[in-house]
Amino acid sequence: MRKVFDDYRALSDEMLRSNEVRVPHFLDAMKKSLDRRSNWTFWLPYVLSLDVCMKCGTCAEVCPVYISSGRKEIYHPAVRSELIRKVYRRYFTWPGRLFPGLVGAEDLTEDKLDALAESIYRCTVCRRCAYVCPLAIDNGLIVREARKIFDAIGIAPDELKEKGTRKQLEMGNATGTPTAAFLDIIEFLEEEIEDQRGYKIKIPVDKKGAEYLVMHNAGDYLAFAETVMGAAEIFHAAGVDWTLNSPDTGINDAVNYGVFFSDIEFTEVLKAQIKTIVNLGVKTLVVGECGHAFEAFKYLMLRLIPPSERPFEVKSILELIDEWIREGRIKVDPEKNPEPVTYHDSCKLGRLGGLYEEPRRILKACCKDFREMEPNREMSYCCGGGSGFAIMTKGDFLKFRMETYGKIKAEQLKATGASIVALACSNCKGQFREIINYYKLPLRFAGISELVANALVR
């Protein structure tokens, strides 16, 4: 085994074999990433970010993994990006080809390739660094583009590809839940609502032509059922025409792990999701509490799918709940949530999605004691579950998540004195569940839909 980046592992040993020559394949894939005709997502900011960096260090002082690691150089955002830039200069610029030593260009070796592969899975692509960079250099974007290159040569985390996008396309969702099991879950949730609330509701499934199709993260049905139950209660209370869908109708999962590592995987999943939505004939897709799914449907879809092929509106469930509370369509009583509540800004919903005030208006309406976590909004620290990390645990990777990103969030939570941290993203919920257990924090997490449902006035 060749030397790798640090003591943790995001990638399997089989992907970092010492008997395979991969540098030429990597360079071929990188050449394609630099061609605007084949890189349809972020070609321009990508090449600009490769060409320019003042090495001022501004990015490092806001990077959660760099700060929490004790400022280890290997976690410095610009140092990580420089690993890519050295390859770029050496093989794709004429000064680097002629005078590599003068321009900071270096030959790519198999050892360096291994280190680079692991390095790009130490960054959650939260893009906090891009927000403060005086030149708008996007180190997170460089990381994502590097992940695409590695995927093109067969190097990607199993959790994101084989057990993620591949399973989702085959089974209809990333958890591999078949229709019969999905319908059993729905029946169970209906019974739970009746037991907890004292009244019956029917959760519609596969209803064609509904006003709203709600797509949750598939993991919510198994791990965060209170979120799914809460959403069902809210839609029922609002008296609107809505539905969930089962794998019988196609993809029934808002997840798209391709956002994290591959345009090819992203495109396949997105097109399958759109086909499902169009076949159901719904007017509005409501993205459940899932940050990266919101980015995929609300923004990335616009770059790939022409308007005529997506005849539906896209809204986050946060936007809809906020509208309904302000319009009086649903009524809530904050006295029903008397415990102190704080809120974590998901990177995808906040910095990348602009949803800052909607969740705060909702929580202030539904909770008696709302407290801000500092810093918040655009400067919120990533929890460490982003870019797929929340489901990556092999090679002591869970410890890495807890001892870096998790450490900062634990301190923030303690400072609020809150009993509940409200979360609007499934990956964040997975990460905070581990943070609370790892640091033995005296609080719990809750989805926003759960807190709203608890505050409903019927």
Tens digit of each residue's pLDDT (9 = 90 or more) over 210-268: 999 999 999 999 999 999 999 999 999 999 999 999 999 999 999 999 999 999 999 99
- The two three-digit tokens of residue 288, written as one number: 């459940």
pLDDT at 274: 98
CA distance 264 to 148: 9
- The two three-digit tokens of residue 86, written as one number: 């050295």
Give the CA distances from residue 32 to residues 2, 26, 47, 247, in Å, rounded to whole numbers and listed in that order: 27, 10, 12, 35
Q: Average pLDDT, whole number, for the chain?
A: 94
Question: b/e map of 264-291 (b: 16 or more CB within 10 Å)?
Answer: ebbbbbbbbbbebbeebebebbbbbbbb
Closest CA to 148 of 5, 22, 29: 29
Spatial neighbors of 357 by CB under 8 A, at least 6 apart, are none
Asked whether the whole model's pTM tops 0.85, one would answer yes
Q: What is the H or E stretch that residue 342 is in?
A: strand 340-343
pLDDT at 3: 66
Residue 402 CA from chain centroid, whole number: 17
pLDDT at 225: 97
**18 pLDDT exceeds 80?**
no
Which of residues 40 and 59 earns the better pLDDT score?
Answer: 59
Q: What band does 442 get if pLDDT is binned at 50, 70 and 90? A: very high
Is the bond preceding residue 375 a cis peptide, omega within 30 degrees? yes
**1 pLDDT exceeds 80?**
no
CA distance 373 to 452: 20
CA distance 346 to 365: 20
pLDDT at 311: 96
Q: Please, what are the domains in the chain? A: 13-152 (1.10.1060), 161-322 (3.40.50.1860), 329-455 (3.40.50)
Q: What band does 388 get if pLDDT is binned at 50, 70 and 90? A: very high
Which of residues 191 and 41 earns the better pLDDT score?
Answer: 191
pLDDT at 65: 96
**2 pLDDT exceeds 70?**
no
Which of residues 97 and 426 earns the better pLDDT score?
Answer: 426
Q: What band does 29 get if pLDDT is binned at 50, 70 and 90? A: very high
CA distance 16 to 113: 9
What mean pLDDT comes out for the span 142-169? Answer: 96
What mean pLDDT comes out for the span 296-304? Answer: 93
Which of residues 356 and 18 earns the better pLDDT score?
Answer: 356
What mean pLDDT comes out for the span 427-456? Answer: 97
